[in-house]
Structure 1
């Protein structure tokens, strides 16, 4: 399986990249973003893409991939709707439309968020924009589109948010998150959970397109079970 990751330097993207490079059935990983990940692996290729709205010069490198994990995202704090839509809807669709044309057999997995508004008419600006983005992705001719809507995500294995406010939150919550995740496994995920669930969807699909935290958790547990059986059986 060959996978692409957009936003591999963000917290979620770091977790997805780690799980992809650990997966024995992943033959190649292509990361696309403005900066390098700092990871070294013979299966990893990094494409530096300064303009995330125009792929005409680099789209040849996108051919032949089985799945795309789109983890790019920005916080809506302090942003107006037009600017947030440009960095959320426009950036996502620029990549997705290019990939749908080149790789219609591809599975496209988009990291959205808990509370996303599929009606596009709610009061929350970020939720409306995310909903519009999800709806547009579902109309593209991919083999499958899956929309991940996680809530709180615990960063593991060195994953770190690029957003300062999130880093402060995770630093303050670090002593409690593992306990809370054990108590509320369907509400609080880890970066490992998200990465394993994305790979599971790339391999086998999922029963529905919109996947909330509990669905993501179930997928990650199912993906980890064969490995558990292999080591304990």
Structure 2
């Protein structure tokens, strides 16, 4: 190496080092912010049901899914990473006759960008059956709580998510999770979905009504002996 070129290589190495250090600091800051967000979520009241908006503008309510088996994943339309493979894998799974009765719910982690028209375009791009595969959005804070508090999958940040698919059974309980970009994991998830579809839905029993004070008093009046004071 010529001596005259040495300063340039040293400057290049310093620039690369600075970039790496900056990236490392950025990753640490992202992790710290995610931890703060998780702690904030934990302090909130438990989330037992949730509501989002589907790409056609109609509501998606988790409470309406009782009696069905459904699978939820997180994504965003401008994702440069695994979202493409994730959604293509879901597209394949939705085409299988053996799980034709399962529903699929894709939730955006970038609701500011993923407006209803954007989600509708994504559904059209993937040729998603609107009766079986819906794309939803909601306030980001709500989406984050859904991931943490309802689906217990975590890993959600603004334009950030993991690739897990969460399977919800007919009773509204989590039946399992699988990595939806992994072929091997997806096979395991498929078996869980088939197992849950084969199960019978048992509606929760409504609590028995107790007679009100007024009705008891009315019965007592009716049953009181004639002439009683």
TM-score by length of 2: 0.30
| Higher radius of gyration, 1 or 2 | 2
